[in-house]
Amino acid sequence: MGRDAGEIALMYDSDGVVARRNLFSLDGRALGFIPTTPQASRYKVAADAASFDRQSASAGALLDSLGDDDTRRVALPFPFPFFGATFTSVFVNSDGNLSFGQGDVTATSRSLGFFAGGAPRIAPLLADLDPSVARGGVRVLARRR
């Protein structure tokens, strides 16, 4: 529903007609995977500005030339149990997610079906990103707390 004002069409938002801006941002924040059981069989994820460690962020290993729709396999310094399997490596995918067992270089749209139907994945930023234009590149620092 709306009206015209000269050469301009006015549309009124009725909670869903126009998408709200997503204010979620990890700028200056860190994501932590914290074991919730002594055997580290379950984890919770926490985003916390107070735990962002700029020194660690710049100390991580730079993933050389990670481009658009690209992936890199990274060895983990500890076994990581995830969805009934234990992994010793993870694939860092350029579109803001980590996958286990195989990398992701597809250029298709990101959706819930894509997320649920593919390799096991942790996807805090499942979006079409191009890290080749990122200031400072993409870095990985894997350590057990």
pLDDT digits over 115-130, tens only? 777 789 888 777 778 8
pLDDT for the residue 49: 65
Report yes or no: 88 and 76 within 8 Å, Cβ to Cβ: yes
Q: Check residue 108 and give its pLDDT.
A: 72
Token pair 């597809």 in the structure block, residue: 106
Between 136 and 82, the higher pLDDT residue: 82
pLDDT above 90 covers what percent of the chain?
14
What would the pLDDT profile of 62-106 be if each residue is shown by its tens digit?
Answer: 888 888 889 999 999 888 888 889 999 999 988 888 999 999 887
Give pTM, 2 decimals.
0.66
Give me the chain's average pLDDT, please. 79
Report the C-alpha gap between 42 and 63 in whole angstroms.
28
